[in-house]
Amino acid sequence: MSRLTCRNCGSVNLPPLEPRIKNIQSPDSLVSQILRGQRPLLDSDHALLTAEIVELEQQQSLYAAQLKEIQSRRCAVRKALESRKSVYAPIRRLPREILIEIFHSVCDSWWQEENRSWNLRLSPHSLDLSGPLWILGRVCGLWRDTLHSSPASWARKLVLRQPFSEYDLEILQTYLERTGEHLLNLQVICSHWTEEEDMDDILSLLVQSCRRWKNLHISAFKQHMRHLEPISQLPALQTIDMNIFGDYDCSGMCLSALQLWKASIRVHGTLR
């Protein structure tokens, strides 16, 4: 803490300008006369000017330290003020159900916007941490707690899209945990076939939630379908839309879904 700060109350007092500093700043000072050409710089002036430079540098350091402390305190006061004012923000008075509906509307708008401009940017997916659910949860503690206690918000649309990064498995694990036990509306798009360990791990993790799949859309190669073969039952599945590249028999999946009422399966020949 600066020596100019009161230890009791924390206030910062500006020190008065020293008489000599005031004299240095006066219009008819020695420096002003020299700079204006009213008198030459004499050898005898050097000692005085050097002393004044030292003194002014000390004053400059003192005021710089004081200014830094004032700015730090100002920042702390501003944050404290903003946090207290936020208590009275109108959105905090909204019922939880309405706040969740607003979040859902934001998410729907984001998906629709992405779909309109698909040719201008990378296709959207749920593991994108710049997506609305992730961003909204970082705005404030209230929004984070609201979203984390609303598994339906996470389960209403889960889109997985190739390629996957090395972090996507962990992100998907977190995402599935936040869906709780809610039924899932799931889309899986595998745009190309490659031997990817990350993809194998993600599909294997996804299959663990198969009993909660309600609506499933999958576009994949037949090599990806081996991850679905261990599935014996799909008790909640109501609709399925499959687009498979390569000869593959999907009838087993449909037979294991007792609530299935709509199925669309397209198999695109033999790929070599």
Q: Which residue has the tokens 């007092």?
A: 13
- Per-residue pLDDT tens digits for 108-122: 999 886 554 444 445
Q: What pLDDT sits at residue 169?
A: 94
Contact criterion met (CB below 8 Å) for 123 and 114 = yes
180 phi, psi to nearest 5 deg: 60, -130
Using CA atoms of 70, 75, 76, 80 in order, give the dihedral in degrees to the nearest 10.
140
What pLDDT band is residue 255 in, cutting at 50, 70 and 90? confident
DSSP 200-230: HHHHHHHHTTGGGEEEEEEEEETTGGGGTTT
Q: Would the pLDDT of 63 be above 60?
A: yes
**246 or 136, greater pLDDT:** 136
Tokens representing 267 are 């198999």
Q: Would the pLDDT of 2 be above 60?
A: no
Sign of dihedral through CA atoms 190, 193, 199, 204? positive
- Per-residue pLDDT tens digits for 123-150: 789 999 999 999 999 988 889 999 999 9
Strand partners, 186: 158, 216
